[in-house]
Structures are given as structure tokens and as C-alpha cells.
Structure 1
Amino acid sequence: MSTLTLPNPGLGTFRLKGDTLKRTIHDALDLGYRHIDTAQMYDNEQDVGAAIAASDVPRESLFLTTKVWHDRLEPASLKASVRESLEKLGTDYVNLLLIHWPSPDDAVPMADYLKALHEVQQAGQARHIGVSNFTIAQVDRALEILGPDALLTNQVEVHPFLQNREVVEHCQARGLTVTGYMPLAVGKVLEDETLKGIAEAHGVTPAQVALAWIRSCGVVAIPSSTRREHLAANLEAFEIMLSDEELQAIAGLDRGERIADPDFAPDWD
């Protein structure tokens, strides 16, 4: 499926709540963002919904993603979770519904929760479905269960220090768009000398270089920021063209530095 389905970049909302989140969404939509990423676990769907409702941007022009947490994967619980999310978001549907994490130790069989996810889509509550934090083997299993064109994306951690190349390339080869979360490595990109050097050459910031690199990999980024000037800069980053030499230098920064690695995570590739 084309990455055009998923506007790039999107706005990540992890850890944002209340008036801060509402103001951030207002600024982002004003600047031209049309993709907002939230999750039930973020405990901010109600604020996201209020911000969207207060916006002049019509709902049909927005791409809205939410996710089902791993303790709600039993089919009846998953469907109830989606109904709760839609109520909080103040919408009849999300554009993309993700399984946030695979079921730890396969406590709920994948076939059970993916079929429930597909049924939610068939009921019109999600335009697209996908997964998050799935390994290569789990992606392949999911596609065996649902069929080769069923999933839009696998959302995984991607930044210059964890480039996740095997997962990215495998998903893209199977027709999935990859969405990269924590694309700025929670600010660590700002301190890297290689990125700073490339940024200086372009008259931009290291964060913008990191986002330009992610775009060059064909990955959809969902950076998070509460400052309007940073939101604007993140959009502008997608116009930056890096040279082959610069891309090669960034490729050399991969050190497998994983930031999101909870105790219930799968055995990573």
C-alpha cells in the first residue's frame, strides 16, 4: 500500500495531555499536519477528541490512529476497547487501528485478536488496521492469518541509533508501510556530532536531518513536540534532500540503541 495513505509526518501524542495537548494539536493542524497518532494507553484520547472537535479541519480531512493495549486483546475486550476509544475521540471511526503490542507470551492467540481487529474494520469502526512492535516472524504470522493485503503498517521504533533495517525492509517487501516512532530518539539526535555536521551544511537542525533521513528510508515518522516552531521545523524537514554520502554517514550511526523495551516486549529481531 502507498505511504500516501498515511500522511507523513504525523503528530505523536505520547505523554501529552490536557491543555498542552489541545494547544499542540491546534498548532499542528494550523501548520498543516493531518495525521494524529494516539493510543488508549496514552490516556489522552478524550483530549485529542476535544481538540479535533474544536478545530476548523473537517474530520474527513484527518488521519486519526489509535491503538489497543495488550491487556485488551481477548476479542470481546478488544471490541469494547475500540468502542471506548471511539467514544472518547468523539468519532464513529478511526482511520487506523493498531494492536499496540503483540500479546505477551502469546497469552491471547494471535489469530483470535487479529480476527477481532478485522471484524472491527468490517464493522466500519476502522478504515485500516495494522500492528505495532511486531517482529518479522510476527508480521509474517499476521499476514498468514489475515491475508497479504490486510495490514497497512507495522509501527516500530526507528531513529538513527536504532535503524531497525531488517524489520523495515521486510515489512516494505511484504507491502506494509513502516511507521517510525521516537524518530528523534527522545532528543538524543540533537547531541550527535555526525548529525550536527550534516545539519550545519544544510543550515538546518540535527532533528530535521534525522527526519529527512527517515523520509529517505520510506518510513512515516510521528515526531512529538509541544512547541509550534518545532512542529513547523518537523514539517519543513521533509523538504530536505540528503546526499548519498550523508545518508551513508547516518547509516553508520546505527548502534541498536532501543529506547522502548518493556518487560513484555517480544524477542526483537
Structure 2
Amino acid sequence: MAQNTFPLASRTKLANGLSMPTIHLGVYLTSGKETYQAVRWALEAGYRGVDSAQMYHNEKESGKAVLDFLSSQDNVNSLKREDIHFTSKLASNSSYDTARKAIKRSVKECGLGYIDLFLLHSPYGGKNARLESWRAVEDAINDGEVKIGGVSNYGVKHLQELLDSRPRIAPMVNQIEVHPFNTRTDITSFCQQHNIVIEAYAPLVRALKMKHPTIVALSKKYSCTPVSFLPSALQFILLVEKPMPVAGVP
């Protein structure tokens, strides 16, 4: 069976030679003090990746928590900004100028100087909006505002469309919901073929399947808990065809 432990310090290598933490803290549906405290506690516990978005309205709190942690006594390993991986996402695809300005706002809002991974949050908006928004991501990377570009919730059609446009910078990541109850092998296979890392959000199925008979039975078979079995099952799914890097946002 696939590896059933995922050290928080582990990293996933990308096709461009860079890497990102294998496990991130997702701050969806949190705000204000809740976001700040969650990020602080996560960093103190060993997390090195934080996943935010413009639509979450918590880039500022996430960034402040990162900076406060780095300058605090809790930073026992003397970590620096480059040791923490911050993700944000474009709220909506539209024109190049609108997307470019939105990326700049996110960089300013988080206060971290740059964003490690910036994703197009969805394929909504139509072909032209998708491609123009991606062009804005490319320029943000070239200008040093973003380190890595990727997409989220993209299907095979949207990925093929982007690759067919011959982008200057290829997407490194596709963040989608994928777990044993939503395998999406069409997308994962396509990403394998094109060296795009799958970043799985909701890999624990939002804790809704912990008592599912199959999950309970397999957890007993492999002497682990359902919460530790699910990430292992996810990794196994993505290793079936050929080895594939995977990252997760619980």
C-alpha cells in the first residue's frame, strides 16, 4: 500500500524544478481571528503551507499570522519567509488588466512580498477570459510577484485549451477535489501525462465518510484510523498508472 504517513515538512517536486509542501492548511470558510489563530497554530505544529484565496477574504489575516510567527519565539527552527509556502487564487476570470490588478492586490493584501503559488480558482468566464487571466499570471511570475502558477477546478477540456494556447509558462498545479469517493481519473491521468501536479482539496471527504463501511473495514485491515487511511488511499489512486506527485489541502 502507499505511504500512510505524511510528515508536515515533506515537499512535492514540480516540473519546473521548484517544490511545495505536500500538505497545506486550507483556510476556506474562516475569517478574522479564526483564520489568524488557525494559521499560527498550524505553523507552530509544523505546517509549512497555507492555502488561501481572494474569495476567502482572509489573505490579510493569513499573511499576518505567517509574519508574526516568523518573528516570534515560537519559530524555534529560525524559519524565514522562503520556508513558508503561501497560496492564493484569482476570484474570477475576466480581462488581462483586471486579473493583473487583482494579483497585485493579493500580493499587497497578504503582506508577504510575493505569493508562492497563484491559481486561477475556476474555469468560469469563457475561453478568452481564461487565457487572458493566465497571461496575467505569467506576467506576475516574470515580475517576481508570484513564484508558481497553476489552476483549480480545471477539467481536461480546460487544461487542453490552456496547453494548446502554447503558454509561455505551463501550469504546474491543478487543485481539484479528489478522494476515494471522487477519483476523477480522467483529470488525474491527463495531468500525469503533462507533468501537472494534482493538489487534492477535501482529501478527507470533509470528514463525512469516516464511518463508511468500506473505509472502516480497510482501516482495520491496515491497522490505521479512517483519517489516516484516506490520504493513503488517495495517494494509491494517483500511483496506479505511474508515479505521480500529489499535494493535499485538508
Same fold (TM over 0.5): yes
Q: TM-score normalised by the shorter chain: which range applies?
A: 0.7 to 0.9
Output the CA distance in 1 between the equivalents of 2:215 and 2:151. 30
Q: What stretches of structure 2 of length at least 5 have no aligned partner?
A: 1-11, 71-78, 239-244
Q: Kindly tell me: are residues 31 and 215 of structure 1, through their superposed partners in 2, closer, same or farther at Cα, counting changes over 3 Å?
A: farther
Identity %: 25
After TM superposition, give the deviation of residue 179 of structure 1 in Å.
0.6
Match of 1:129 among 149, 165, 169: 149
Partner of 1:58: 80
Write the deviation string for residues 42-76 of structure 1: whole angstroms up to 9, x where unpaired. 01111101111111342110111100011x53111
- Number of residue pairs aligned between Structure 1 and Structure 2: 221
Match of 2:247 among 198, 215, 220: 220
Match of 2:189 among 162, 166, 169: 169
Output the CA distance in 2 between the equivalents of 1:198 and 1:159. 15
2:117 corresponds to 1:96: yes
SS in structure 1 at match of 2:47: coil
Match of 1:115 among 127, 130, 135: 135
Q: What stretches of structure 1 of length at least 5 have no aligned partner?
A: 224-269
One-letter identity of the residue aligned with 2:185: R
2:199·2:249 contact (CA, 8 Å) conserved in 1? yes
1:215·1:221 contact (CA, 8 Å) conserved in 2? no
- Point out the structure with the larger helix share: 1
Write the deviation string for residues 73-131 of structure 1: whole angstroms up to 9, x where unpaired. 3111111111111111102211111100113344x443322212111111111111011
One-letter identity of the residue aligned with 1:30: E
2:112 corresponds to 1:85: no
Match of 2:40 among 19, 26, 43: 26
Match of 2:57 among 33, 43, 48: 43
One-letter identity of the residue aligned with 2:247: V
SS in structure 2 at match of 1:6: strand
Partner of 1:265: none
1:180·1:220 contact (CA, 8 Å) conserved in 2? yes
Output the CA distance in 2 between the equivalents of 1:16 and 1:206. 25
2:100·2:133 contact (CA, 8 Å) conserved in 1? no
2:219·2:229 contact (CA, 8 Å) conserved in 1? yes
Q: Kindly tell me: are residues 133 and 17 of structure 1, through their superposed partners in 2, closer, same or farther at Cα, counting changes over 3 Å?
A: same
Cα RMSD of the aligned pairs, angstroms, is 1.9
After TM superposition, give the deviation of residue 203 of structure 1 in Å.
4.1
2:94·2:129 contact (CA, 8 Å) conserved in 1? no
2:24·2:50 contact (CA, 8 Å) conserved in 1? yes
SS in structure 1 at match of 2:210: helix
The range that moved more, 60-69 or 49-58, is: 49-58
One-letter identity of the residue aligned with 2:216: K
One-letter identity of the residue aligned with 1:34: R
Q: Kindly tell me: are residues 141 and 148 of structure 1, through their superposed partners in 2, closer, same or farther at Cα, counting changes over 3 Å?
A: farther
TM-score by length of 2: 0.82
